[in-house]
Amino acid sequence: MDQFFAMRAFEKVAELKSFTAAAETLGTTKGNLSRTVKALEDSLGTALLRRTTRRIGLTEAGLVYRERCARALEEAEAAARAVRNLKAEPRGRLRMSAPVNFGRLTLAPALPAFLLRVPELRIDLVLTNRFVDLVEEGFDLCVRIGVRPVPHLAAKRLAEFRWILCAAPSYLAATGYPRHPRDLAMHRILSPDPNLEHEVWRFQGPGGEARVPAGGHFRTNNVEVLAEAARAGAGIALVPSYTAAASLREGTLREVLPDWRSLSSTGDRIWAEFVPGRRSLPKVRAMLDLLGELFSGSSWMDDPGTGKGEPGPG
């Protein structure tokens, strides 16, 4: 017996006081409706309807059951409406994660306007540098940098970036511009890896590959801190291009050795990952669209900003 249909059948018969009228309303036959209500009564072990040749009424048990049945059917219909609404427009709660620095620099500025566009959507944004398991931790979507997409997940490539050397104009004016990676040995180096005692940076550029020791005068795993130290004139920093892009445009940082590409720091792609099948959810589609808009035409691979360093005299 279909319990939900049986409840609807009983409720409609009780409302219309007629099996014939109820059957027409529900799009079934009078015989099928009668069998359904009888099966419901058998399952409950009591009569719900008082049947006579002239009218149909409710027993005492029928009165109690109808009151509860009406509330249950109303809740079921409300649940169905909620699901239909979820499929129609972005609403509900979207749980997503992103790396800390990247989330602060790129996602955070775009989210307020996005939330105004989709007022029924609520976002839980978790900024973390650890690997997030979407399925186990209940995330709808995450942004990953560098690492290849997880095989069992769906992924959308958002943008590319590169690692660049940059420094404040004041620092370069005082020390001069490096002309070759080997010149970095004469500069104060700000390194993104605090764990290597004897770090070697590899660069590809005019004339092939160059390797230079760059243990670093200051080392930290936080690239925002590196960029801030570089802006303050503390030295030459190796940072992701998206971290320095705004400062390069503003002129507070200049790119150093723009013709040389770092080979030491892996990972130059930014991905959105999500569970297969969830892309059809309006809330996930809306966020993927936002990320697409945010990074459309914004590749940091070739030109992270306008602050190209220029060799000084001598």
301 pLDDT above the threshold of 90: no
Compute the C-alpha angle 30/34/37, nearest 5°: 140
If one compares 53 and 310, the residue with the highest pLDDT of the two is 53
- CA–CA separation, 186 and 1 (whole Å): 84
pTM of the model: 0.60
Give the model confidence (pLDDT) of 158-189 as tens digits: 888 888 999 999 999 999 999 999 999 889 99
First and final C-alpha spacing in the chain: 91
For residue 159, list its beta bridge partners.
Answer: 270
Of residues 1 and 217, more confidence is placed in 217
* pLDDT tens profile 99-129: 888 888 888 888 888 888 888 888 899 999 8
Q: SS3 sequence, 119-174?
A: CCEEEEEEECCCCCCHHHHCCCEEEEECCCCCCCCEEEEEEECCEEEEECHHHHHH
57's tokens: 């009424």
